[in-house]
Amino acid sequence: MKALLKYREVWLLVAIVVLIGLISMRFPGFANPANLRQVFNDTSILMILALGQMVVILTRSIDLSMASNLCITGMVVAMLNAAHPTIPIPLLIVIALLVGLVLGAINGLLVWRLNIPSIVVTLGTLTIYRGATFVISGGAWVNADQMSPDFIGLQRAAFLGIPVLSWIAILVNALFFLLMTRTALGRSIYAIGVNPTASVYAGIDVGRTKFIVFCISGMIGGLCGYLWISRYVIASVEVANGYELNIIAACVIGGISIAGGIGSVGGAVLGALFLGIISNALPVINISPFWQMAISGSAIILAVVLNARGERRQGRIILKKAEAA
């Protein structure tokens, strides 16, 4: 199965290279390193969000509230920064993580303790969190001129020629890679996604593990709240409205099975990059943004079809071996 997963990611990587090649034919500058670095930086937030969503989807759940979480956490840190510009930015980031964690924990507790399907829980909190943003802000915006230079400047600072935002994405990637391949929690996440019943018998607390993955996606939503607001320098109730679908799209294109248990960090990253390249490239080659939606949508369906075929092929292998045995 690992070989197959690799195959799937390699396939996606090839698709991305082909895509870059096609775009370069119309716009030769696209493939140069400086531009690709820019594309990576532009995609960083989506990539981080997709990783948070991935751990949830792996456990056969879904977090629809991530974008709303991002919105309210972004508003909280923006208002704090506007009111108290002296609060150091690292502390603000910690606050963003904690606010996100609390919001994620609410989702997790409802899923765990009340046994409500996650799609229902997070559909509810999606609306609640966005509504709460309106309540705390009174509907007002926080504009660029109200934010401190540090607040805006941190992610733009370059380190070794690469913006801090990209470094944060790389760091989060590394942490998730460790989580999924080297920790007992990561192993449990895969196990309960593949076979929840057998996991219960193996002594894994399925409910608690789900609670933890919602805490993780919540923290990621919170972190991205700060990153998003400081990048687009405006905090409002409309921030990232509907963006949860882009996050899920990145996961699905990246080969993460909505049925749970199948998917990898590499897949989520490539899925996000695929969407990032499309949204970056189409405007420069003069294709209407509406086509962008159609292309993303087709990519999702294509990815699901290919993944379904991959899984079916796996089934045939089992049968063949069973016959031989």
For binding to other proteins (CB under 8 A), which residues are involved? 1-2, 181-188, 190-191, 194-195, 197-205, 261-262, 314, 317-318, 321-323, 325
* 305 token code pair: 């079809």
Which of 297-300's residues contact partners 24+ apart within 8 Å by CB, and which partners?
299/249, 299/253, 299/274, 299/275, 300/249, 300/252, 300/253
Judged by beta carbon, residue 124 or residue 196, the one nearer other proteins is 196
Longest dimension (CA), the chain: 72
Judged by beta carbon, residue 129 or residue 190, the one nearer other proteins is 190
Helix (H) or strand (E) holding 158: strand 158-159
Minimal distance in Å, beta carbon 263 to other proteins?
A: 11
What's the gap between Cα 260 and its chain centre? 16
Judged by beta carbon, residue 54 or residue 299, the one nearer other proteins is 54
Residues whose CB is less than 8 angstroms from the CB of residue 221 and which lie 6 or more positions away in sequence, other chains included: 49, 52, 63, 65, 66, 67, 69, 70, 73, 100, 103, 104
The residue among 41, 79, 65, 322 whose CA lies nearest residue 214 is: 65
Burial class for 249, CB neighbours closer than 10 Å (0-12, 13-18, 19+): buried
Judged by beta carbon, residue 139 or residue 315, the one nearer other proteins is 315
Minimal distance in Å, beta carbon 178 to other proteins?
A: 8
Q: Name the DSSP letter for residue 114.
A: S
Minimal distance in Å, beta carbon 188 to other proteins?
A: 7
Minimal distance in Å, beta carbon 290 to other proteins?
A: 39
Minimal distance in Å, beta carbon 274 to other proteins?
A: 25
- DSSP codes, 80-116: HHHH-TTS-HHHHHHHHHHHHHHHHHHHHHHHHHS--
What's the gap between Cα 143 and its chain centre? 26
Judged by beta carbon, residue 100 or residue 260, the one nearer other proteins is 260
Judged by beta carbon, residue 125 or residue 199, the one nearer other proteins is 199
Helix (H) or strand (E) holding 79: helix 66-83
Judged by beta carbon, residue 86 or residue 115, the one nearer other proteins is 115
Minimal distance in Å, beta carbon 218 to other proteins?
A: 19
Judged by beta carbon, residue 197 or residue 286, the one nearer other proteins is 197
Nearest 10 degrees: Cα torsion 269, 239, 128, 119: -30
Minimal distance in Å, beta carbon 323 to other proteins?
A: 6
Burial class for 161, CB neighbours closer than 10 Å (0-12, 13-18, 19+): exposed
Minimal distance in Å, beta carbon 303 to other proteins?
A: 19
